[in-house]
Amino acid sequence: MKVIVVGAGALGTMHAWHAIQRGHEVVHLEREEQSRGASVRNFGLVWVSGRSVGAELDTALRARELWESIAAEVPDVGFRASGSLTVVRTDAELAVAEEVVARPDAALRGWELLDADATRALNPALGGKLLGALWSSTDAQVEPRVTQLALQDHLRATGRYTFLGGREVREVVGENAVRDDRGELHTGDAVVLCTGAWLGGMVRELAPELPVRRVRLQMMQTDPLDEVLTTSVADGDSFRYYPAYQGPALTELNAAQAQDPIAAEHRMQLLMVQRRDGSLTIGDTHEYDQPFGFDVDEDPYAYLQGVVEDLLGRPLPRIRRRWAGVYAQCVDTTRVVHRERVREGVWLVTGPGGRGMTCSPAIGEDTVNEMGL
């Protein structure tokens, strides 16, 4: 079959991947010359540990398996099974970690509670203030700025993949074709729309009651750190953000330990990942009320720099990049993604929220299964 895929972010690229893997032909359209949205503006985390019980965790675990197998074919995605440490610095945060490691699914998530010495033994770069950490061996990372490009290069080698950048799709024509902004018609046997945070125009016409919202974030990247950050790192505010940690201990944490005012205002948590060149990607914030500002706010960056320096016990390298990004998230945040057949043969897949890079391989697999490809 010939499949038309619209959108070259993480979701669109993984739908193209699975279609090619099953022997089909793919024409892949992207309105930019290459994807420039949230799929390249994220941490590259394959984040299993914080997912909610049920479909979300199942999807993340399957995606983790798929990422490892994909990386065996395409090493340039930069997959590293590095695990994560959610560092705890107060007794209330420690109580949350103690509660979750006692749960039945702790082993499935790779959770283990480490004291301060064991935390530093696992990640010697953490030389600052901490009581210990929640270790998750299931978490991993890829390189977001190059992952889609590496996958596309691999798909081209099959001879059944055509990438067309700089083509904004303006119209779905019938049940198996799209028309781009150059007036060219692209016809196949099925169409998959993975349009990311682009929710207006054609998308609104096809799905006027789409239960998806846009979320804005801010992040930054440093110059290379002169030592290895052996794991990805989160702070105790991640307990407040990720659904896996809900329970009596988290309720007590929220009551007894107020979040820093800047962190609370910007709905913040610390996530930190070291890139292959040694630099650190650090974030992030969450903004839901539109219209979003066109500029970035300096307070969250200063706050995050202070948190990281406390954990590392040393000054950060120079900040060399700051950016904002926008992604699409299901209004019902318990849903992994919004998948809708908007016409016979035409599927719209959007709204994974901050789970796009983590879950995209499994989301793409589920879609092609549902489409019968």
Note the pLDDT tens digit of each residue in 140-187. 999 999 999 999 999 999 999 999 999 999 999 999 999 999 999 999
List, in order, residues 6 or more apart from 166 with CB less than 8 Å away.
Answer: 30, 31, 32, 33
Start and end residues for every CATH 3.30.9.10 domain found in the chain: 86-137+212-330
369 burial via Cβ count (<10 Å: 0-12, 13-18, 19+)? exposed
pLDDT at 130: 97
- CATH 3.50.50.60 in the chain is located at 2-41+145-211+335-371
C-alpha 134 chain-centroid distance: 20
DSSP 334: T
The answer to whether the CB of 24 falls within 8 A of the CB of 161 is no
Q: What is the pLDDT of residue 128?
A: 96
At 15 the pLDDT is 98
- 27: Cβ–Cβ under 8 A, 6 or more apart, which residues? 2, 3, 4, 5, 162, 164, 186, 188
Q: Which helix (H) or strand (E) holds 84?
A: strand 84-88
Q: Count other C-beta atoms under 10 Å from residue 276's C-beta.
A: 10
Encoded amino acid at 169, one letter: V
Topology (CATH level 3) of domain 86-137+212-330: D-Amino Acid Oxidase; Chain A, domain 2 (3.30.9)
Sites in the chain below the pLDDT cut of 70? none
Q: Which residues of 168-178 are buried (b: 16+ CB within 10 A; e: fewer)?
A: ebeebeeebbb
CATH superfamily of 2-41+145-211+335-371: FAD/NAD(P)-binding domain (3.50.50.60)
pTM: 0.96
Return the pLDDT at 311. 97
pLDDT at 26: 98
